[in-house]
């Protein structure tokens, strides 16, 4: 994707829930997203934490960024729970195991032989979630900008969209 000038884009309305078990990635993405002007970024280290946060919070996130392979409650199960909760947020799915299944056999994805991100996207859509896109790790600045571009139009406040 190409990225137009981003300095004047207001992203303060974006409330992101970022769910991943990689501490370094969580910190890096949180700081990068806040640096891009996102209003808030809440983090969860696995699907259980993410689901707990989603259920507890009054002001629901309008964007969920979720990894697939996590301990305790993996991404696909987390997304299924979000669908049952009636989640209306835009969803971005990320994984470092798109073409190579994880070696840990505790994850159901270890037994799947195919593009995992495509499977996760289809399953999430079937359950009624608004999946905007999937991204393979590593998550680069370019990929973050692609994410922002996908989210800007739908989540922008009406007064922002009508700007001349």
- Look at residue 124 and tell me if it is in a domain: yes
Structure tokens at 129: 């979630």
What integer pLDDT is reported at residue 146 of this predicted model? 94
What integer pLDDT is reported at residue 7 of this predicted model? 53
Tell me how far apart the alpha carbons of residues 152 and 54 are, in angstroms, rounded to a whole number: 22
Task: Print the domain residue range for 47.
Answer: 15-152
Count up the domains in the chain and report the number: 1
3-class state of residue 19 by DSSP: strand
- Contacts of the segment 20-25: beta carbons below 8 A, 24+ positions apart: 20/45, 20/65, 20/66, 20/67, 20/70, 20/94, 21/45, 21/46, 21/67, 21/69, 21/70, 21/71, 22/67, 25/137, 25/139
- Look at residue 76 and tell me if it is in a domain: yes
- Look at residue 142 and tell me if it is in a domain: yes
The bridge status of strand 40-44 relative to strand 15-19 is parallel
Tell me how far apart the alpha carbons of residues 50 and 44 are, in angstroms, rounded to a whole number: 5
Question: What are the start-end ranges of the H helices in 14-115?
Answer: 23-35, 47-56, 75-84
- Look at residue 45 and tell me if it is in a domain: yes
What integer pLDDT is reported at residue 111 of this predicted model? 64
pTM (two decimals): 0.85
- Look at residue 69 and tell me if it is in a domain: yes
- Look at residue 3 and tell me if it is in a domain: no
Instruction: Residue 141: give its domain's CATH number.
Output: 3.40.50.2300
Can you give the pLDDT of all 164 residues of the chain as single tens digits? Answer: 555 545 568 999 999 999 999 999 999 999 999 999 999 999 999 999 999 999 999 999 999 999 998 888 989 999 999 999 999 999 999 998 766 655 666 656 566 666 888 889 999 999 999 999 999 999 999 999 999 999 986 555 544 333 33
Contact call for residues 97 and 71 (beta carbons, < 8 A)? no
What integer pLDDT is reported at residue 161 of this predicted model? 37
What integer pLDDT is reported at residue 104 of this predicted model? 66
Contact call for residues 107 and 76 (beta carbons, < 8 A)? no
- Helix (H) or strand (E) holding 160, with range, is helix 158-161
Phi, psi for residue 63 in degrees, rounded to 5: -140, 135
């Amino acid at each position: 994707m190409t990225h137009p000038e981003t300095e004047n884009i207001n992203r303060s309305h974006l409330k992101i829930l970022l769910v991943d078990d990689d501490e370094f990635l969580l910190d890096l993405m949180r700081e990068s997203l806040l640096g891009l002007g996102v209003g808030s970024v809440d983090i969860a280290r696995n699907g259980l934490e993410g689901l707990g946060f989603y259920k507890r919070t009054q002001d629901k996130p309008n964007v969920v960024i979720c990894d697939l392979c996590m301990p305790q409650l993996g991404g696909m199960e987390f997304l299924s729970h979000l669908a049952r909760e009636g989640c209306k947020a835009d969803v971005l799915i990320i994984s470092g195991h798109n073409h190579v299944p994880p070696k840990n056999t505790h994850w159901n994805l270890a037994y799947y032989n195919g593009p995992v991100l495509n499977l996760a996207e289809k399953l999430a859509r079937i359950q009624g979630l608004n999946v905007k896109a999937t991204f393979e790790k590593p998550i680069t600045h370019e990929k973050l900008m692609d994410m922002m571009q996908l989210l800007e139009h739908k989540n922008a406040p009406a007064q922002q969209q009508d700007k001349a």
